[in-house]
């Protein structure tokens, strides 16, 4: 952090997690710890490559201002990931109640007698954050990541996770992300299908149970009717005899 008489600037290095063909942004925090209105202006050695919002402004007394610096998408990486671009932040005390509309190039003109503070900022490219690599526990070399995913028609959650982890570890680093996502998608689809099949079998079993109960009830009534008819027939024959 740079602590000048007018503005404190943080950070002094603009760190961009460099990725090809992707816009990347970082922010600057300007803090005015004085009782004066302070005007600022941000310049860069490569204006076509960066977009600064706001590039000029007013920081009120005892307040802060965020400046967003956006690097345009790059088609190729620089040699050794080194960047020679630089920024310059100028600040000057201005009239009370000033607004951004009051800022003109003359405000930052040293030859006009204005006291202009300057702070140089460098650009640093850093590697983008990598997702943590899962470490399979208890997996055997050469084992199939699909093994034991289903057990008795139900999906085993622990085996599902271990299979995904084991497969991701076997892939080359550059292929791991896409292949792992593809496998996880397939395993998720299989899990959903297995759960649907399990629910369907459960519903059919309940239906068979209900139909069996009705069938047993029907046989009992028929048996009673047959027994009654036989009884009537025997009674009629006994009376005749």
Residue 40 within any structural domain of the chain: yes
Is 188 found in the same domain as 84?
Answer: no
Residue 42 within any structural domain of the chain: yes
pLDDT tens-digit readout, 89-112: 999 999 999 999 999 999 999 988
Task: Indicate whether 150 pLDDT > 70.
Answer: no
**Count of domains observed in the chain:** 2
**Is there a contact between 107 and 64 (Cβ–Cβ < 8 Å)?**
no
pLDDT tens-digit readout, 54-89: 999 999 999 999 999 999 999 998 888 899 999 999
Is 102 found in the same domain as 28?
Answer: yes
Task: Indicate whether 145 pLDDT > 60.
Answer: no
pLDDT value for 239 = 66
Task: Indicate whether 42 pLDDT > 50.
Answer: yes
What CATH number has the domain bearing residue 109?
Answer: 2.60.40.10
Is 102 found in the same domain as 13?
Answer: yes
Residue 195 within any structural domain of the chain: yes
Q: How confident is the model at residue 206 (pLDDT cuts 50, 70, 90)?
A: confident
Average pLDDT of the residues in 25-54: 96
Residue 43 within any structural domain of the chain: yes
Residue 61 within any structural domain of the chain: yes
pLDDT tens-digit readout, 7-22: 999 999 999 999 999 9
Domain that holds residue 206: 182-215
Residue 118 within any structural domain of the chain: yes
Write down the pTM of the prediction.
0.53
């Amino acid at each position: 952090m740079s602590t000048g008489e007018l503005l404190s600037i943080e950070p002094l290095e603009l760190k961009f997690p460099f990725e090809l063909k992707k816009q990347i942004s970082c922010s600057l925090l300007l803090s005015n710890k004085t009782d004066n209105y302070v005007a600022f202006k941000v310049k860069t050695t490569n204006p076509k490559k960066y977009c600064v919002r706001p590039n000029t402004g007013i920081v009120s007394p005892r307040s802060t201002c965020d400046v967003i610096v956006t690097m345009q998408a790059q088609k190729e990486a620089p040699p050794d990931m080194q960047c020679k671009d630089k920024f310059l932040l100028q600040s000057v005390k201005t009239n009370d109640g000033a607004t951004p509309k009051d800022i003109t190039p003359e405000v930052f003109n040293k030859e006009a007698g204005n006291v202009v503070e300057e702070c140089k900022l460098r650009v640093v490219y850093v590697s983008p954050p990598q997702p943590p690599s899962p470490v399979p526990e208890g997996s055997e070399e050469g084992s199939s990541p699909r093994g034991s995913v289903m057990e008795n028609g139900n999906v085993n959650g622990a085996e599902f996770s271990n299979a995904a982890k084991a497969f991701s570890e076997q892939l080359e680093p550059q292929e791991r992300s896409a292949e792992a996502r593809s496998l996880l998608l397939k395993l998720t689809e299989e899990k959903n299908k297995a759960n649907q099949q399990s629910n369907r079998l459960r519903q059919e079993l309940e239906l068979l149970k209900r139909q069996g109960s009705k069938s047993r009830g029907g046989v009992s009534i028929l048996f009673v009717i047959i027994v009654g008819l036989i009884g009537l027939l025997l009674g009629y024959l006994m009376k005749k005899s």
